[in-house]
Amino acid sequence: RGIQVAGSVESWFLEELNALLVGFEEDVIYFDFLDNALPSVSFYVILSRHKASSGIKSLTVHHTGNPTSSADVGGRPKELSIANPVFSYLTLRNLSKLAASELRDFEVVYEVTHHGPTSLQKPLTFVEIGSSETEWSYKKAHEIVGESVLNALRELKSPVDCTPTVGFGGPHYAEGFTKRALKYRECYGHIISRYAIREIQNKEELKYVAREAASRSKPAPAKAVLSRKIGSEPRSAVVEELKSLSLPYEIID
């Protein structure tokens, strides 16, 4: 049923799922106001466009944050949002299943942690359609995203068999972590990209990012997975911080 939410364009309450569907005019990377606009909700799911010069047809899931001192696309420098690994995993799994039969030319993948908002006090997940106007207007892509999110919300009502995990390394499209999630039931919170790690030259700053990536997650990660390709010195810094947190880790090629 329709409801009133201050500042929104359109608002609906979904009784079956105890969920709100709300539209705002602001650019999604500047949704830092959501805590004030929606004080009663427990987490946020942002449905958005994904733009990429590669033109890859994609359905993506990711968490937000700026691991480095750059904050060109919303949020604050060196700040990560609160990740929602279990919900994000369920959404990814549903997207993968539905796209396999109905959108075979679309890639379903985690993206690494990037852009704003970063300062919200509740878990936040982005689910996106990429990567051009052609895909953004594709009705079937909209339907699959909607169905995947609704399925994930329903599945949250029961215990979910997955291991909350934080990832380090890999390119922007985190195909390696995506494959591990679907194969080993690792549900990823923050994934800090190889390019972000290499941009952070200072060891203490890198340890800080590792600590934030592990701590800014609900539920907290039970393990970490690191790509060997991030380099020996950055890897040593991350591992040192993971050990201080008593967080088990695995290094992969």
- Which is it for strands 223-227 and 163-168: parallel, antiparallel or unpaired? parallel
**What pLDDT was estimated at residue 131?**
85
What range does the domain containing 32 cover?
Answer: 10-252
pLDDT band at 55 (very low <50, low <70, confident <90, very high): confident
Per-residue confidence (pLDDT) for residue 89, from 0 to 100? 99
The angle that helices 203-215 and 232-244 make with each other, rounded to 10 degrees, is 50
Structure tokens at 5: 């939410």
Tell me whether the omega of the peptide bond preceding residue 70 falls within 30 degrees of 0, making it cis.
Answer: no
Question: Given CA atoms 230, 231, 234, 235 in this order, what sign does their dihedral have?
Answer: positive
Look at residue 1 in the predicted model and tell me its pLDDT. 84
| Residue 201 counted as domain residue | yes
Q: Is the model's pLDDT at 53 over the cut of 80?
A: no
Is 4 part of any domain?
Answer: no
- Residues sharing a CB contact under 8 Å with residue 139, sequence separation 6 or more, in sequence order: none
**How large is the average pLDDT for residues 46-62?**
91
pLDDT at residue 188, rounded to an integer: 99
Residues 81-131: pLDDT tens digits?
A: 999 999 999 999 999 999 999 999 999 999 999 999 999 999 999 999 998
Average pLDDT, the chain: 97
Q: What is the pLDDT of residue 201?
A: 84
Residue type, 90: L
pLDDT in tens, 187-225: 999 999 999 999 998 999 999 999 999 999 999 999 999
Whether 5 is covered by a domain: the verdict is: no
Indicate whether 41 belongs to any domain: yes
Helices 85-102, 139-155: crossing angle, 10 deg rounding: 140
In the chain, what percentage of residues exceed pLDDT 70?
100
Q: Residue 51 — pLDDT band, cuts 50, 70, 90?
A: confident
pLDDT of residue 94: 99
Closest CA to 145 of 82, 97, 85, 83: 97
Total length of the chain: 253
More confident position, 141 or 50: 141
Report CA 209 to chain centroid distance, whole Å: 16
**Number of domains the chain contains:** 1
Domain membership flag for residue 83:
yes
The H or E element that residue 176 is part of is helix 175-184
Does the pLDDT at position 163 exceed 80? yes
Report the C-alpha gap between 8 and 2 in whole angstroms.
12
Tell whether 3 is covered by a domain.
no
Q: What is the pLDDT of residues 123-150, one digit of tens each?
A: 999 999 998 989 999 999 999 999 999 9
Asked if residue 212 is part of any domain, the answer here is: yes
Whether residue 1 lies inside any domain: the answer is: no
CATH of residue 192: 3.40.630.50
Identify the band that residue 240 occupies on the pLDDT scale cut at 50, 70 and 90. Answer: very high
- What confidence score (pLDDT) does residue 158 get? 97
- Name the strand (E) or helix (H) holding 44: strand 44-51
